[in-house]
Amino acid sequence: MKSLDGRCGLVIATLFAAACTSDFPTEAEPGRLAAAKGGSTSPAYTVADFGALLGNHSSSARAVNDAGDVVGYSAGGGFAIIGGAVTPLPGIGLLAYALSNGTPRYVTGQVASQPARWTIAGGVSSQPTILQLGSAEFGAARGVNDAGVTVGNVGAQAAVWDVAGNLVALLPAGFERGEGRDINNAGHAVLVFHVPSTVGLGARAYFRRADGALLALPALPGDVSTYANGLSEMVGDEVYVAGSSETSLEVSRGVRWTINLTTGTITDTRIRPEDSHAPGVSSAGAAAGFLDGRGTASTAFLWRGSELLLLKPPKGGKDGKTWAISPSGEFLAGEAIVGASRHAMRWTILSP
């Protein structure tokens, strides 16, 4: 998502500017996790602040699974929190974006601008496997399924890597760059392609079937861009995609598309009326995201049908964002400002 990508750059710069040590604690410190009830709106929730576990560095949680494990990155490096304990991810210049739901755990991201995948077993991470780049010089791995199949980008092309790391690069005619954002266990994926800058603003979201067929996810009337960020597991013959539709002034509205695989059509499109983003979606179609503060504090949310639950940070926190939701819908991962820095957060929905 272009508007999110720009913000990510600022966050990354802040994270590394704040670095003072690369050491991680090796065990969870439950007494230093903050929790707060979600108020009278059902369902209630709790929130865990992982900042203390990560040395109080600026940090962001970018993915979460059904066990409540999270991955992300901080000024101290890439991390996974597995079973409540911090597992550092080996590598220099590391960003972690995605986490699988099965065993072993797969984590994907990048190391020194190279697409990378880690395997975590028994709370111990492997060294990064650098995935094929083809003719490109840089890339990133942004989504992974339980088999280890991965999507991302190599240079200006969207990329799909199989379990062995073999590359399929994608860039349809008429686009100047692209990237894969997410992939599910059926092998379906979501991708975003950008039109040439000489044409003006514009990006196009696509759903890619496991057989390679592409289905465009159109912008809302009057908008110029669509972004697909999260993809659910299959529910019967349907799948959900979370993303956004954006105006020429870069004002976004969170969108959730429902796609029927039997007919190959979009059967439902749900839209948030606010300036918002929807980066993740559960298997039941619940979306994680945030209301964009546009210079003021953003507000994290869980969006389920007609219900929008605003998710508060711990007491004293502000500017919450959720970047991901677990397949079950029980856990959401993101960040909020606490004190002078951003902290990785995990919200737990008590009635998912």
Q: pLDDT digits over 207-263, tens only?
A: 999 999 999 999 999 999 999 999 999 999 999 999 999 998 889 999 999 999 999
User: Which SS3 state, helix, strand or coil, does residue 109 take?
Assistant: strand
Q: pLDDT digits over 20-51, tens only?
A: 333 333 333 332 333 333 444 445 999 999 99
CA–CA dist 60, 74 (Å, integer): 6
CA–CA dist 60, 56 (Å, integer): 11
Judge whether 215 and 239 are in contact, CB under 8 Å. Answer: no
pLDDT in tens, the chain (352 residues): 333 544 343 333 333 333 333 333 333 333 233 333 344 444 599 999 999 889 888 999 999 999 999 999 998 789 999 999 999 999 999 999 999 999 999 999 999 999 999 999 999 999 999 999 999 999 999 999 999 999 999 999 999 999 999 999 999 999 999 999 999 999 999 999 999 876 666 899 999 999 999 999 999 999 999 999 999 999 999 999 999 999 988 899 999 999 999 999 999 999 999 999 999 999 999 999 999 987 789 999 999 988 999 999 999 999 999 999 999 999 999 999 999 899 999 999 998 8
Count the helix, strand and coil residues of the chain and give each as a percent rounded to the nearest 5: 5, 50, 45
Tell me if the domain spanning 2-20+36-349 has CATH number 2.130.10.150: yes
Any idea where the domains of the chain sit in the sequence? 2-20+36-349
Give the contacts of 308 (CB within 8 A, at least 6 positions apart): 272, 301, 302
| pTM across the whole model | 0.88
